[in-house]
Copies of this chain bind each other. A is one copy, B any other.
Amino acid sequence: MATSFRFAASLRRASQSPRPAPCLSRFRSTVQVRWTGSTSATSEPHQPVEKGIGKGGAAPAKVIKFTSEAYPELQRNSRFAKLTQEHVDYFQNLLGAESAIIDGLSKDASEDIEPFNSDWMRKYRGHAQLVLKPQSTDEVSKILKYCNDNLLAVVPQGGNTGLVGGSVPVFDEIVINLQKMNNIRSFDEVSGILVADAGVILEVADNFLAERRHIFPLDLGAKGSCQIGGNVATNAGGLRLLRYGSLHGNVLGIEVVLPDGTIVDDLSKLRKNNTGYDIKQLFIGGEGTIGIITGISILCPQRSPAINVAYFGLESYEKCQEAFKEAKNQLSEILSAFELMDGRTQKLINRATGKKLPLEGEHPFFCLIETSGSNTDHDNEKLQSFLEHVMETSIVSDGVLAQDQTQIQELWSCREGIPECLGHWGGVYKYDLSLPISDMYDLVNDVRDRLMKAGLVGDEDFHPVVDVVGYGHMGDANLHLNVPTRRYDKEVEKQLEPFVYEWVQMKNGSISAEHGLGIAKKPFIGYSRSDTMIRLMKQIKDLYDPNGIMNPYKYI
């Protein structure tokens, strides 16, 4: 049959061609490489991108501007106390171990503190003089109570892999890092319920579960560094949300310490518990502004032994929608990811890395689908039948199906390698948006038209903008609009903002689908939330943190 032949031919090409070099492997930041400096991407109006920075690991590490300088409108809240030796002595006495405290007050510890003061995107940098690494919930409680009583502002910090500057200080807030609370407390193989400290690294948790044929219901690029407490505090989305749903559904319980030191033990191991308001939900996505999560209980699904990945070219965004609808319909329970990449992102990957793309020919759009199921033969059959259908009905123009783990990674790299490649030319304006799926890509076209009309986009060096591209988690209607640039140009920013936010607002979308608010999106919340909602949120903040010591200058 013609269609399956075309697939088979593509597959042969994929399996016989020599591995493209340089090969884009899955991008996972790890603790070891986190501080070597990579791309500098920004959507903020106040952070000019320094030209020539971020063109690969060889470039010198960018000097990170202090957030207080990048955001001059932010002023330190004078109600907060300044750190004194007495405070440091209290914490030293409380935490005991040398390794549990980095004291930059009584000695010069700037080098040790720096990784806790700045974020992994190297965009935000604070002035903290003290880092605390409690080892127990009780220690967290005593720290917070003391800070609250003494009006010392704090920043809760997990793996510090956030993208909106939420996990680093702005001024001299004390960093409370959870890395030493990293025990898996229990796992029940019958129910699939895992209870663990907040500081357990996501990949560690997932590896632990893999040995027990389960999977953590969240996966994201930073899994080698990010901590599960931070994932919950930021309501991380990631690659498998389409299949496993959001943390609001999967997290069964949390242990959290309130600013006044109260330990809230809601670490339920129950799948159902209808006894009162589900308070824990406020802390899921609360970004450490009303309490510090110290432990979580989470429902983990069975791990699927069979994984398939396919990659298609499509001629329009409408066809992408049709393909998604068919995938939902035909692959249904085994569909675990449906990702969108426009043709421009794929071309830029090729331009940036020289990497040969999996499909020949030009296609305006590409989709990547992943299936995960319990039976390899069944999954293959479903996928084959889906592929034949979408080819026969011309929903997709061409496609390739991975034949082994290497090819799976190869195809995934066409999606996961995008953020890194887009930094090739300089800085990238990045927007993480939720939009109604039918309108989602129109924004990319509108922004491109706008920048084209302003004469800002082109292949020549005098154009500040390389291109305007879109990709993202199509299955979740989550678009990453990216504008790779060659240099900082005020005019680009003027064209982008508030245009992008107004566009999102007009469609009742969200200006932050999965990255959160932090410091980056705080000023723009009004584009996604009504005054009423913002008022209700402020009520909650005031209720739990009347002194405002928790992660100040951010969120709301």
By a CB distance below 8 angstroms, the chain B residues around A237 are 272, 274
In the complex, A394 Cα to B192 Cα: how many Å?
23
Chain B residue contacts of A373, Cβ below 8 A? 332-333
B533 touches A264 (CB 8 A): yes
- Are A536 and B271 in touch, CB under 8 angstroms? no
Give A521 to B508 CA distance when docked, in angstroms: 40
CB-CB under 8 A from A478, the residues of chain B are: 271-272
Query: Do B537 and A272 have beta carbons less than 8 Å apart?
Result: no
Q: Chain B: which residue is nearest A541 at the CB level?
A: B277
Residues of B within 8 A of A543 (CB): 539, 543
Contact of A476 among B265, B271, B374, B375 (CB under 8 A): B271
Q: Say how many copies of this protein the assembly contains.
A: 2
Contact B437–A191 (Cβ < 8 Å): yes
Flag A512-532 by CB within 8 Å of B: 1 or 0 each.
111111000100010011101
> With A270-B509, A325-B190 given, is the CB distance from A279 to B536 under 8 Å?
yes
The interface stretch among A130-138, A246-254, A462-470 is: A246-254
The docked-state distance in angstroms from the alpha carbon of A189 to that of B286 is 32
The answer to whether the Cβ of A496 comes within 8 Å of any Cβ in the partner chain is no
Partner of A281, one of B234, B248, B321, B513: B248
Enumerate A273-321 residues with CB–CB distance to B below 8 Å. 273-279, 281-282, 284-286, 290, 302, 304, 321
Q: What residues of chain B lie closer than 8 Å to A556, measured between beta carbons?
A: 276-277
A331 to chain B, nearest CB (A): 7
Interface status of A219 (Cβ within 8 A of chain B): no
- Cβ of A266 within 8 Å of any chain B Cβ, yes or no, is yes
> Contact at A515–B274, with CB atoms within 8 Å?
yes
Asked whether A263 is an interface residue with its Cβ less than 8 Å from the other chain, the reply is: yes
A191 nearest CB neighbor, chain B only: B437
CB distance from A236 to the nearest CB of B (A): 9
Instruction: Give the number of residues in A that approach B within 8 Å (Cβ atoms).
Output: 92
Nearest residue, chain B, Cβ from A518: B274
Interface-central residue, A264, A276, A515, A541, by most chain B CB under 10 Å = A276
Which chain B residues lie closer than 8 Å to A525 at the CB level? 275-276
CA distance A310 to B281 in the complex (A): 37
Find A536's partner among B192, B264, B325, B516 (CB 8 Å cutoff).
B264
Chain B residues lying within 8 Å of A334, measured Cβ to Cβ, are: 333
Which residues in B have their C-beta under 8 angstroms from that of A510? 268, 270, 272-275
A324 at the interface (CB under 8 A from B): yes
Fill in one digit per residue for A324-349: 1 if any B CB lies within 8 Å of its CB, else 0. Answer: 11001111111000000000000000
Cβ contact within 8 Å between B270 and A434: yes
Nearest residue, chain B, Cβ from A273: B510
Cβ B276 vs Cβ A374 within 8 A: no
A274 adjacent to B235 (CB under 8 Å): yes
Task: Determine the chain B residues whose CB is within 8 A of the CB of A521 once the complex forms.
Answer: 275
Judge whether A438 is part of the interface by a CB distance below 8 angstroms. Answer: yes
Asked if A529 and B275 make an inter-chain contact with CB atoms under 8 angstroms apart, the answer reads yes
On chain B, the residues within 8 Å of A274 by CB distance are 234-235, 237, 285, 510, 512-517
A286, A290, A515, A536 pick with most chain B CB within 10 angstroms = A536
Chain B residues positioned under 8 Å from A263 (CB to CB): 532
A334 to B373, CA, bound (A): 9
CB-based contact B275/A286 at 8 Å: no
Please indicate the chain B residues that have their CB under 8 angstroms from the CB of A438 in the complex. Answer: 188, 190
Q: Mark A469-481, 1 if CB is under 8 A from B, else 0.
A: 0000100111000
Q: Which residues of B contact A234 (CB under 8 A)?
A: 274
Interface status of A511 (Cβ within 8 A of chain B): yes
CB proximity of A275 to chain B, nearest CB, Å: 5
